[in-house]
Amino acid sequence: MKLGILGASGRMGQAVIANASRLNATVTAAVVGDQSSRYGEPIYPNVAEAGVRFQHAGEVKPEQVDVFIDFSLPQALENNIALAKRLRVPLVVCTTGLSEQQHTLLAQAGQSMPILYAANTSVGITLLRQLVQLTAAALPDTDIEIFEAHHSAKRDAPSGTAVVLGESAAAGRGKRLSELSAGVRGDGVREPGSIGFSVVRAADIIGEHTVLFAHPGERIELTHRVSNRQIFARGAVQAAEWLKDQPSGLYSMADMLQLKTLLKQLI
């Protein structure tokens, strides 16, 4: 599989590049922004003569890529969708911190191309979302608090993953997160039934999320921790491999894992 990486010089772009060969994929296009200092450099320094180099979006050719993985910034989303459409290449979007308008843009794009959105490409997080929704539905009277911790350079807070976990909890109670969110926790008495968020930004923490369900005398904690970004790279490549064979539509990691089918089989 020929992979094009959007936001190739960032942490996750570099993680995919470093692990692609062991994931049965080849990075054939590494796209960076117009102002990037990495432009023109080889993505693998030891193969400078024949290797792929960091390039701009306008330089990518249709035959160069089977599927794009987007690990860039939210402000690049519209241009990245336009690039994928122009080249007729499926797009896996892994950018967090998207606005409601940008989610609408993803849905519109899915009408004419295969596109998969994943705020977190970890298979474990995808499973956690299902467990959170089930627990919220089964325990409607518990307080819900979502704790998340990331490295000190992370831009959005709460994280995109924490938000989708909140959305899963709200869905379990038949609500939208906007109806239940208490925001990032501070001082003051919490509203009954609200979903609170607690955020840590420190050092080189890759990603930790815990969803706490509590009522007097008992609590349940569902936790996911990442110690290596290879986990996200593996999930993104797995999603890309699946997406390249799908028809137009907006998909999720749960679709890729066929979780609805698995749940029906279990029930």
Positions annotated as catalytic residues are 150, 154
DSSP for the chain reads -EEEEETTTSHHHHHHHHHTGGGT-EEEEEE--TT-TTTTSBSSGGGTTTS-BEE-GGG--GGG-SEEEE-S-GGGHHHHHHHHHHHT--EEE---S--HHHHHHHHHHTTTSEEEE-S---HHHHHHHHHHHHHHHH-TTSEEEEEEEE-TT--SSS-HHHHHHHHHHHHHTTS-HHHHEEEE--SSPPPTT-EEEEEEE-TT--EEEEEEEEETTEEEEEEEEES-THHHHHHHHHHHHHHTTS-SEEE-HHHHHTHHHHHHHH-
AA identity, residue 103: H
